[in-house]
Amino acid sequence: MFTPEILTVSELTNQIKQSLEENFSYVSIIGEISNFRPHISGHWYFSLKDSNAVLYCTMWKGFNNFVFFTPQDGMKVIINGKVTVYPPKGNYQLDVRSMKPAGEGELQAAFELLKQKLSSEGLFDVEYKKPIPKFPEKIGIVAAIDSAALKDMISIAERRYPLTELLIAHAKVQGSGAAESIVQSIRLLNRRDDIDVIIVARGGGSIEDLWAFNEEIVAREIFRSKIPVISGVGHEIDFTIADFAADLRAPTPSSAMEIATPKIEDLVSYLQNFYQSTSGSVSNKFIEMKRNFIRILNSYGFRVPLEQVRRKAKYLDNLSYKMIREFDNNIKLRTGKVYLLAKTIENHDIQKTLKKGFVLVKQDSKFVTRSTNFNPDNPAVLKFYDDELTVFKKK
């Protein structure tokens, strides 16, 4: 009669562990996330389930850093990893190495779920929207430092309103860690007291590319910002959670800068309108005061000393005329200074200088301003008015 080998619990568990881990060293599984718990250590613990079974999963910090979205309960995902056994409890689980949404529909569902959640909390309510200043002295920009979107925004600001100053807070805007990078940049700008408005921007892309702007932490940081925030993410048809949380949504990064900056011509027009309205108000006030004064003069109490009052009235008329003339001259002088400033800024436009035939020389990402700083052994970039050329040392 066959007598089986008697094993200890540990021995049997170790044999099962060895068998499972050797035969299921790499598996790809689709299922629905439940009980998702991000630990303070950075590790993720969750379950993957379908209608008939549940699989416990662990994803370590070193691997989940490469997941571009934050998993949510109910989201259907595809995960890759290996089966492991935890001997102290006799449980088997999946050691997850990678994760992605099962389809674009899953991201859209997560988008709608978070949108509904934040909307119910009031994060999108109009009453919390801060007004955008008309003439900002300094604009903070949260964007990738090497992006085409940032270059377009800088060009628009220089053309429309060169009086403003731009402060760039570089942020990663795509992939793992992008949401945290955007949050850090917004916080950095909010620590300053000289920023008038913040633009959060990124060029167009797929829903995966823009997903950092659909993360809850980004929306809440925009809502908490003490500085007004304009979102300029993607193209006109793209909407992100950040758009709803921002104080104002622009359809593109370029549009965001156009909204944030007035034209220099608008500033001159504003001063002219101010002059006309103020001058008219002052004149009307003096006319009203004069009428009241004449009415008092014609009263019974002033009939006897009327001649003396009339002399004072003439003096008052002359004084009023002088004040209005001085006011007009002052406004005209200040308007002329604004025109002169605008013309000076226009004359210093680098594009006009290049159009005359001048060339900017750049080496190692820096402009060469002196011949002694030019290194003939290194390649150089020549910036003309219409193009840039890279030249190399002839071998």
What percentage of the chain exceeds 90 in pLDDT? 40
Same domain, 338 and 299: yes
Domain containing 226 — which CATH number?
3.40.50.2300
Same domain, 17 and 83: yes
Split into its structural domains, the chain has a count of 4
Q: What pLDDT is stored for residue 297 in this prediction?
A: 66
Smallest CA-to-CA distance from 106 within 139, 129, 73 is with: 73
Same domain, 24 and 96: yes
Same domain, 243 and 275: no
Same domain, 282 and 178: no
Same domain, 203 and 158: yes
Could you tell me which residues come within 8 angstroms of residue 359 by beta carbon, excluding any fewer than 6 positions away? 382, 383, 384
Angle at 224 between CA 223 and CA 226, to 5 degrees: 110
Q: What pLDDT is stored for residue 1 in this prediction?
A: 58
Predicted confidence (pLDDT) at residue 141 exceeds the cutoff of 70: yes
Same domain, 233 and 301: no
Distance CA(101)–CA(47), nearest Å, equals 15
Predicted confidence (pLDDT) at residue 365 exceeds the cutoff of 70: yes
Q: What pLDDT is stored for residue 2 in this prediction?
A: 64
Q: What pLDDT is stored for residue 8 in this prediction?
A: 83
Same domain, 357 and 319: no
Smallest CA-to-CA distance from 258 within 245, 248, 273 is with: 248
Domain boundary among 241, 260, 279: 260
pLDDT per residue over 205-214, tens digit each? Answer: 888 889 999 9
Predicted confidence (pLDDT) at residue 321 exceeds the cutoff of 90: no
40-44, 100-104, 167-171, 299-303: which range is least confident on average?
A: 299-303
Model pTM?
0.58
Domain membership of residue 146 (yes or no) is yes
Same domain, 96 and 18: yes
Domain membership of residue 181 (yes or no) is yes
Q: Would you list the DSSP string of 132-186?
A: PPSS-SEEEEEE-TT-HHHHHHHHHHHHH-TTSEEEEEE---SSTTHHHHHHHHH
Mean pLDDT of 43-47: 93
Q: CB under 8 Å, gap of 24 or more: what pairs does 266-273 form?
A: 267/135, 267/161, 267/163, 267/338, 268/335, 268/338, 268/339, 268/342, 271/331, 271/334, 271/335, 271/338, 272/335
Distance CA(224)–CA(241), nearest Å, equals 14
Bigger pLDDT: 210 or 286? 210
Same domain, 309 and 372: no
Domain containing 20 — which CATH number?
2.40.50.140
Distance CA(186)–CA(227), nearest Å, equals 9
Work out the angle between the directed axes of helices 264-297 and 306-347 (0-180°, nearest 10): 180
Mean pLDDT of 305-334: 77
pLDDT per residue over 154-184, tens digit each? Answer: 999 999 998 899 999 999 999 888 999 999 9
Domain range enclosing 17: 9-102
Same domain, 149 and 224: yes
